[in-house]
Structure 1
Amino acid sequence: MSSTDEPPPSPRPTPGALGYRLPAEWEPHEATWIAWPRNKEDWPGKFGPIRWVYAEIVRCLSRSERVRVLVGSGKAERKASDSLEKSGVDLDRIEFVRFRTDRGWLRDSGPMFVVRDRSIGAEGEPPPVALIDWKFNAWAKYDNWRRDNRLPKFVADRLGMDRWSPRVPIDGQQRRVVLEGGAVDVNGLGTLITTEECLLSHEQERNPGLNRSGYEQLMAEYLGVSKVIWLGRGIVGDDTHGHVDDIARFVDPTTVVACVEENQGDPNHAPLRENLERLREATDQDNRPLRVVELPMPAPVVFDGQRVPASYANFYIANSVVLVPTFNDPKDREALGILAGLFPGRTVVGIHAVDLVWGLGTLHCLTRDQPRGPAAG
């Protein structure tokens, strides 16, 4: 190498190498992000009542923390503001953010915020909160995703946060990695649960050529994960093809709730039973067994001949409340009671979701938590 040549730049350290990790949802939030509903195709024939369901979600969340509401225009903001005000929302707790989305499923299209616990405040240390900008391609199923795919960069720029966009070599090219927030759930200490149906199936394949070990390496490098627990299949009606947030969720560092279907004739019975057994046999990042609590499934919810993915596991954990979808079902009370026992420091609130789930998702699918970060704690 001549004296005028310079060595190639060193690769940028990954978040995992810098000590970042994906926090558990129960860790303190700076805010919750949600996108005001705008795409009528998400709720064909039922769009009318959806804004009132959203208003109730925002009302409950705003009592717990700041809510950042994405709206596409000034007109949309005025309409959203009117609905929220009529629903008793304190608008001082709301921050409207102008960004036009394709759809509103921020769990999947929004950024994954990561936090860094060590050396907080030391000069030259990375900031306590950053974000991961995975590619979003509408679950490898729909064609309206390009605006949504730009959302994480917009958020990073708005908040002044560091951002990583994971890439892997596939077919001789560096390709951005697709990963949705609803596909994973973590305990914040290094253990992550996901499903083979979502990440490893060739149907709705997000990342052709990326295998199990490849995903595990990515989760270690970008999310600080040291242990991945692979479940099998998701539930009937889930158009994401196997998201874990409809079947199993961490509720504390050592406890997982797992959905079960008692009716042996229901197509969800066998896959949920298999997932339950996998969790009972699994261990966490410290090789300790998990505590597994069974969560019932509601009776099938069907509209216009289509079964939709109704599940109590699609709850959302905010700072002082846990919002749980309900379905006018006798099991509503049982599910709320189980979750209330698991979140003694939070108020567990049921949100009527029979109309909402016609969009093929409910509360967790719609929300994205922005962690406060240890520096502000």
Structure 2
Amino acid sequence: MTAKPVHHGFRMPAEWTPHERTWMAWPSPNPTFTTEQELAEAREAWGAVARAVRRYEPVTLVVGPGDAENARAIAGAGDGHPLDLVERPLDDAWMRDIGPTFVTDDTGELAAVDWTFNGWGAQEWARWEHDSKIARHVSDVLGTRTFSTPLVNEGGAIHVDGEGTVLLTDTVQLGKGRNPDWTREQVEAEIHAHLGTTKAIWLPYGLAGDYGTYGTQGHVDIVAAFARPGVVMVHSQPDPSHPDHERCRTIAAILRAATDAAGRRLEVVEIPAPTVLEEDGEWVDYSYINHYLCNDGVVLCSFDDPRDEEAAEIFRGLFPERTVTLVDARTIFAGGGGIHCITQQQPKV
């Protein structure tokens, strides 16, 4: 039997533990950004997130060949922690999903989990020839041990509390485009073996808008996320005309009825969705849940919406020792994700 990370004492730390740095990837021409204007807008949006993260910790940016100068000019502008560049061929720019999931052990060793990546369930528009190798490239740059797995999974499809609990969704890990021949029990066993978790809480689906053209088919990091052990934030859609109204009520009820790996009944904190319901005739999945925790900071999605400040106040209450920085995420959401989706933490060891 091939040794798994858990056999070597590795586990995935919670996102709120100290980071060494944040990894991101720089947008390049692809089916997600089809025109020069869309690509330029994406780079400005990714750059704004990189600059916000650099207020709190260093950023390493994977850039495609020839893109280093553009990336440094935008993402490296202003003051803050250093920006480092690593040049590798890229297909897309969602580092949470194409990069490694980092795990650590009690001796201070860092290792990388390399999930099988197939373009979010082999979607027709997606390309992944290069992106499927990015986790290994990052691991090689760092010189860390790498644990590869045949399980098709992405970093945005998991969320851990650092104490043994992981959130998953039926339509991702058990989706027909990812792991059609795996049972729920097999998926759980493989997840636990690579993350060091012992309890999986399954949600039936993600947000309605996440099943559109560029959607992930239900990533958990847009609908629910741990704030600390025993406390989970969940997206809430107050408007009954939006399909997420009922979805979110169901998800919140599941989480309220659940216990974590330590046997605690979860405390659920509902985060109201922005007021906008549609964009270009499609339901939006704008969500404040898709935030990113940095060292001493929270980088929070904003949408030029009346609820932006309401969400910021909730996050200030949940993370009183951290500074909340709002970054406009509408361009990122138009491409299929949010701030959490384009960042990946490297834990400090």
**2:68 is the alignment partner of 1:97:** no
TM-score, length of structure 1 as denominator length: 0.87
Cα 1:301/1:266, change in 2 over 3 Å: closer
Which sections of structure 2, spanning at least 5 residues, go unmatched?
none
Distance (whole Å) between structure 2 residues aligned to residue 143 and residue 43 of structure 1: 12
Matched, 1:82 2:82: no
1:359 lines up with 2:335 in the alignment: yes
Distance of 2:141 and 2:232 partners within structure 1: 34
Partners of 2:12 and 2:59 lie apart in 1 by 20
Q: What are the within-5 Å matches in structure 2 for residues 215-226 of structure 1?
A: 215-226=187-198
Opposite residue 215 of structure 1, the aligned amino acid is V
2:135 equivalent to 1:161: no
Provide the residue aligned with 2:60 in structure 1. Answer: 68
Q: Which runs of 4+ in 1 moved over 6 A?
A: none
Q: 2:164 corresponds to which residue? A: 190
Taking the aligned partners of 1:103 and 1:326, their CA distance within structure 2 comes to: 23
Assess if the C-alpha contact under 8 Å between 1:303 and 1:358 holds in 2.
no
Paired amino acid for 1:18: H
3-state SS of 1:133 partner: strand
Deviations 1:190-240 (A, max 9, x none): 0001111222243xx201211111111112211111000111211122111
Comparing 299-308 and 104-113, the one that deviates more: 299-308
Structure 1 residues 319-361: Cα deviation after superposition (integer angstroms, max 9, x where no partner): 1211111111111111111011101111111111122211111
Q: How does 1:140-219 map to 2 (within 5 A)?
A: 140=121, 141=123, 142-166=125-149, 176-202=150-176, 205-219=177-191
Shift, 1:40, TM fit = 5.2
One-letter amino acid matched to 1:177: L
| Residues 30 and 91, structure 2, Cα contact 8 Å, conserved in 1 | no
SS of alignment partner, residue 51 of structure 1: helix
Aligned CA distance change for structure 1 residues 151 and 84 (closer, same or farther; 3 Å): closer
Work out the CA distance in 1 between the residues paired with 2:300 and 2:192.
30
1:20 counterpart = 2:10: yes
Alignment correspondent of 1:123: none
Describe the superposition over 1:103-148 as per-residue Cα deviations: whole angstroms up to 9, x where unpaired.
001111110111112xx2xxxxxx6210111110011114411100
- Is contact 1:309–1:360 with CA below 8 Å preserved after alignment? no
Residues 312-351 of structure 1: matches in 2 within 5 Å? 312-351=288-327
2:31 counterpart of 1:41:
yes
Residues in 2 aligned to 1:14 and 1:197: alpha-carbon distance in whole angstroms: 25
Where do residues 224-239 of structure 1 align in structure 2 (5 Å cutoff)? 224-238=196-210, 239=215
Aligned partners of 2:241, 2:279: CA distance in 1, in Å?
20
How many residues align? The count is 341
**TM-score of the superposed pair, with normalisation by structure 2:** 0.93
Q: Which amino acid aligns with 1:188?
A: G
Q: 1:257 aligns with which of 233, 236, 255?
A: 233
Amino acid at match of 1:150: K
Query: What code does the residue aligned with 2:119 have?
Result: A
Mapped contact 2:99–2:135 kept (Cα < 8 A): yes
Matching residue's letter, 2:140: D
- Structure 1's 89 and 54: CA in aligned 2 closer, same or farther, altered over 3 A? farther
- The one-letter amino acid of 1:214's match is Q
Which residue of the partner structure matches residue 246 of structure 1? Answer: 222
2:102 corresponding residue in structure 1 = 113
> Structure 2 CA distance, aligned partners of 1:301 and 1:315?
20
Whether the 8 Å CA contact 1:43–1:359 is kept in 2: the answer is yes
Gaps spanning 5+ residues in structure 1: where? 1-10, 121-126, 167-175
Query: What are the Cα deviations for residues 251-304 of structure 1, in whole angstroms up to 9, with x where unaligned?
Result: 111210011111122100111101000110111111111111111111345443
Aligned to 1:299: 275
Q: CA RMSD in A?
A: 1.6
Q: What is the percent sequence identity of the aligned residues?
A: 37
